[in-house]
């Protein structure tokens, strides 16, 4: 399964739209947003695909975001949660809450997806592969990532 990963869009609607289109062109079947959506328009941009969301430290109106997620049929994982896609256990959080990262990592998922730092990351610690797609906002290069669970590859994509 090909999973598009976004984070830290910070209400950058046009850039997020380009990112979603890029991920779709690369074969994404589902999207995971690792937080700091900031506004409901971002939910609607991502919602053209099946989508999972977590809240980040800049997602102040959680009720409005939850309502938008419900409208597009998205799944809200609150500040963190685990899902299974493509036969792999995938934990998702924003990354600003260390205790949440530790809680999710303790269950030893196949992948732990996060954002917050605005810096792309892809490394393994024991059985867990940690992936940060980078950011759509306040980054030297705007990036997203495509995870292919079938061959365990992560491809970083530049959003122009």
* pLDDT at residue number 56: 98
Number of domains comprising the chain: 1
pTM of this structure: 0.97
Whether the Cβ atoms of residue 127 and residue 108 lie closer than 8 Å to each other = yes
Domain that holds residue 77: 2-158
* Residue 58: burial class (beta carbons within 10 Å; 0-12, 13-18, 19+): middle
Task: Report the distance separating Cα 157 and Cα 107, nearest Å.
Answer: 29
Task: Report the distance separating Cα 154 and Cα 147, nearest Å.
Answer: 5
CATH of the domain at 80: 3.60.21.10
Helix (H, G, I), strand (E, B) or coil at 156: strand
**What tens digit of pLDDT does each residue of 38-77 get?**
999 999 999 999 999 999 999 999 999 999 999 999 999 9
Task: Report the distance separating Cα 6 and Cα 46, nearest Å.
Answer: 9
């Amino acid at each position: 399964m090909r999973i598009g990963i976004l984070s830290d869009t910070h209400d950058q609607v046009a850039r997020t739209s380009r990112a979603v289109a890029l991920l779709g062109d690369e074969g994404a079947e589902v999207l995971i947003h690792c937080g700091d959506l900031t506004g409901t328009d971002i939910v609607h941009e991502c919602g053209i695909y099946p989508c999972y969301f977590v809240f980040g430290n800049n997602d102040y109106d959680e009720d409005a975001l939850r309502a938008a997620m419900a409208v597009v049929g998205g799944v809200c994982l609150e500040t963190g949660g685990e899902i299974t896609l493509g036969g792999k256990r995938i934990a998702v959080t924003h990354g600003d809450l260390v205790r949440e990262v530790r809680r999710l990592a303790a269950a030893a998922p196949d992948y732990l997806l996060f954002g917050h730092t605005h810096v792309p990351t892809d490394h393994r610690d024991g059985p867990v592969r940690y992936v940060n797609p980078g950011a759509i906002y306040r980054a030297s290069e705007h990036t997203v990532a495509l995870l292919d669970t079938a061959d365990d590859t992560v491809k970083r994509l530049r959003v122009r």
